[in-house]
Amino acid sequence: MSHSSDPSYGKIVQNALLSFQSEEPQRRTAVVSGLLHGLLATLGWGIGLAAARHGFSIGFEPLDLLFIRFAVSAPILVAVFCVLRRWDRLARTRVTVAAAQAFFGGPMLAVCLSIAGRKAPFAGGVLLEVASLTVCSIILARLVLGEKLGFLRTIALLASTLRLVFLARGSLDDGAPGVTEGMLLFAAAGLAAAAFAALTCRWHSDPIATMTIVSVVSLFTLGGYYLFLFGLSRLGDVPWPYLLEQILAQGVIAGILSWIGFLYAARILGLVTASFMPAMTPAVASVIALIITRECPTALQWLLIALGTVGAGLLMASLRARRAVLPSA
């Protein structure tokens, strides 16, 4: 008897078609949700970067902004975590997992940025950090998560790598040992952020629980170090409008909303696709800085921003959701 005359076979085919049709709207919803989370991360990091440039122009140091970020984000995330009652997810998190996430996403990232910011120009250094984050995220997604690249993603990786090479060469041509060391630390910060994102995706960690752990550990380690060195006197002398600007930009927008948005986007769309978000951050920050402070990037910086934007466009062209349905958390 042929399959076409078998009633059970026809029912199987019908159920498969109905399942496929029911999954398709969920796929589209997942893509839209991933894009919205990614847009939140891109805009948030762009605002944080533009606010940091303004903060440095009025006397803030990198360590000041990092302390503000964790001093604001830690209590807010703890409150949100308690309201949402995610204790079961925290209980399922192994100590080694939490320690690795806290190390890469907290103290290691913060130390690299704070030291690098004192040795190298911040504007060029952050471009290098973002380029490193993009390239390392794509590579780790392939090696750790097993995500496929394909033709367009490979071209995007090459464009991002070319941008990284340009930035690294520019720092080496400067000739100053301190600047070269600072640029290397900015690149290491990008690698730490990429490792944090890859491990979070690998272990299917809840983004809110993960960022709560990272912020609390960073507040007790880096925050304790900052208070031991300076206390609150440095921040107490800052006019409150400037301090409020950094509290909102670094603590709430860049420290909480952007990272949670990026981790959710990586869970839905995959880390390779989500990596276009940090690639777009310098362009967003440059536009904001141009509007607010009239600071215009150099021709080389515009070229590097363009390369990152091209890579982001290619990644967007291969956009797809990792799952047929939205994740529950």
Alpha-carbon distance 210 to 206, whole Å?
A: 6
Contact in structure between 187 and 79 (CB atoms under 8 Å): no
Tell me which residue of 328, 322, 324 sits closest to 27, measured CA to CA. Answer: 324
Q: Name the DSSP class of 93.
A: S
Could you give the 3-state DSSP secondary structure of residue 148?
coil
Give CA angle at 279 (261, 132), nearest 5°: 105
Report in angstroms the alpha-carbon separations of 160 from 18, 68, 89, 227, 313: 41, 31, 35, 38, 12
Residue whose tokens read 């904001």:
288
Alpha-carbon distance 222 to 199, whole Å?
A: 22
Tell me how far apart the 2 most distant CA atoms of the chain are, in Å. Answer: 87
Q: What confidence score (pLDDT) does residue 12 get?
A: 44
Give the pLDDT means over successive 10-residue stretches in the chain (329 positions). Answer: 48 42 59 85 86 86 92 93 78 81 90 83 74 85 83 70 66 64 87 92 88 93 91 88 94 93 90 78 70 63 66 60 42
* C-alpha dihedral, 103 to 285 to 40 to 81, nearest 10°: 40
**In the chain, domain spans:** 30-317
* C-alpha dihedral, 128 to 129 to 132 to 133, nearest 10°: -150
Report in angstroms the alpha-carbon separations of 83 from 73, 79, 80, 233, 248: 15, 6, 5, 33, 21
Q: What confidence score (pLDDT) does residue 205 get?
A: 87
